[in-house]
Amino acid sequence: MTKTLMFPLMSACLLFTILGDRGACGTKGGAVNKTPVQNNDKLATGVWGGDHIRAEVTDKGAEIEFDCAHGAIAQTIVLNGKGGFDVSGKFAPQHGGPVRDNEESKGISVHYVGSVKDSELTLTIINTGTKETIGDFTLTHGSDGRVMKCR
């Protein structure tokens, strides 16, 4: 090879090597952590949605809407080192049709158990009293979800 071709070729190889390693700093195997978390490993605020669920996450917890229910988390959702959480909250089933004047929706105590990877949240709702799973959901950060309320 001639010297005039050698320098541009070596420069291009060096440039691609540097740019290729750019995202690898501080991560294992060059993987980039895309988990939507805030400082102090809190679940990212804003809208999270999926099929039959929509959650509005704030610094103080979350309000959750389901097709025929609603729920609430009244505490900051802090993630563990693996992107997971287990927080207490309320879940209140609803029904279609008119609501009576004396009808109350007290709700039941539940655990919201979740895991975040990239911009996807996997959420399981567990009845605290019976330990039964109420539902499993997959939500995406920034999505309004698809909820069809009972009316």
pLDDT band at 117 (very low <50, low <70, confident <90, very high): very high
**Torsion angle defined by CA atoms of residues 24, 82, 60 and 74, in that order, rounded to the nearest 10 degrees:** 160
Determine the average pLDDT of the residues in 53-76. Answer: 97
Q: Fill in the amino acid letter for 3.
A: K
Is residue 70 within a helix (H) or strand (E), and if so which, with residue range?
strand 69-73
Pairing of strands 53-58, 61-66: antiparallel
pTM of full prediction above 0.85: no
Give me the count of residues in the chain. Answer: 151
67-104 pLDDT, tens digit each: 999 999 999 999 998 999 999 999 999 877 776 777 66
Of residues 103 and 121, more confidence is placed in 121
Q: Compute how many other C-beta atoms are within 10 angstroms of the C-beta atom of residue 30.
A: 11
Q: CB within 8 A of 68, min separation 6: which ones?
A: 93, 94, 95, 96, 149, 150
Of residues 10 and 75, more confidence is placed in 75
